[in-house]
Amino acid sequence: MCRVICVANQKGGVGKSATCVNLGIGLARAGKKVLLIDADAQGSMSASLGIQEPDELEVTLANIMEKVINDEELEPGEGVLHHYEGVDFVPANIELAGLETSLVNVMSRETILRQFINSVREQYQFVIIDTMPSLGMVTINALVAADCVLIPVEAAYLPVKGLQQLIKTIGRVHRKLNPALTIMGILLTKVDRRTNFARDISAQIREVYGERIHIFENCIPLSVRAVETTAEGKSIYLHDPKGIVAQGYQRLTEEVLEDEE
């Protein structure tokens, strides 16, 4: 069985890419076969996995989706790269932004990414999709392709306010396009444990959403070391293995694995 997890939030800077990379590599460290898909034209996840110049890549997610749109056959493993920490990944670059606009006129436009994932699903136990900070057509594709959504939310006032819009969109996709879609949970990120404000925001999220939506027990603390990993092209487990962020992602990985049982 393969589980497809979409990591989504229309607000940028909440730690989507970091969560995809560190959860994916955490699962690979636990012996799981993992594919990460970068569905963000900014290519943040690809950069975090060591791709220095995403715009110079010959095959990215945009090319793969174009082939699916045109009913062209994909070669086995086409566009899939391997990271030395044990995960496979499909990178993205600015071409994905162009594809976003051309998808409007495509038949079954919401299912293009799902068609690709279905073709590789048997090879993996987890597929994790990083999405754009928007609710555009590529993000809708990711939600239609997914079994569940993991929502990273920064422990601050404005990102929390935007949650309602995202939850409404997920509900709409569930009703009209993907009845199997569920919300896996809300993950609090960039939590400054020294401040009352972060604690108040955390308590507020649990109060407002806790009854309807699972909120991960563990949160991802604020740390400068976590920001540095993007430039290093490796996970927090290699960059700062004993730090609080590595512990946070390790606990998240354990929660996800427990949910599988």
Q: Kindly give the pairing relationship between strand 88-90 and strand 81-82.
A: antiparallel
Q: How confident is the model at residue 200 (pLDDT cuts 50, 70, 90)?
A: confident
Residue 26 contacts residue 57 (beta carbons within 8 Å): no
| Domains of the chain: total | 1
Position 232, amino acid = E
Q: Are strands 3-7 and 148-154 parallel, antiparallel or unpaired?
A: parallel
Query: Is 14's pLDDT higher than 70?
Result: yes
Q: By three-state DSSP, how is residue 243 classified?
A: coil
Strand residue runs (E) in 156-252: 182-189
Name the average pLDDT for the chain.
90
Q: What is the b/e burial string over 87-120, where b = at least 16 CB atoms within 10 angstroms of the residue's CB?
A: bbbbbbbebbbebbeebeebeeebbbbbbbbeeb
Mean pLDDT of 143-151: 97
| Reported confidence tier of residue 192, pLDDT bands at 50, 70, 90 | confident
- Confidence at residue 165, expressed as pLDDT on a 0 to 100 scale: 86
pLDDT of amino acid 223: 75
At residue 163 the predicted structure's pLDDT band, cuts being 50, 70 and 90, is confident
What pLDDT shows up at residue 207? 84
Reading the block at residue 90, the tokens are 């499909």
**So what's the pLDDT on residue 158?**
59
Q: State residue 135's pLDDT score.
A: 86
Report the C-alpha gap between 73 and 138 in whole angstroms: 21
The domain spanning residue 75 has which CATH number?
A: 3.40.50.300
Domain that holds residue 54: 3-260
Backbone angles phi, psi at 199, to 5 degrees: -65, -40
Residue 146 and residue 141: Cα distance in Å, rounded? 9
Poorest-pLDDT segment among 17-26, 157-166, 184-193, 249-258? 157-166
The pLDDT value recorded for residue 155 is 75
Longest dimension (CA), the chain: 55
Per-residue pLDDT, averaged over 59-73, amounts to: 95
pTM, rounded to two decimals = 0.94
pLDDT of residue 229 exceeding 80? no
- How confident is residue 68, by pLDDT bands cut at 50, 70 and 90? very high
Burial class, 39, CB count within 10 angstroms (exposed 0-12 / middle 13-18 / buried 19+): buried
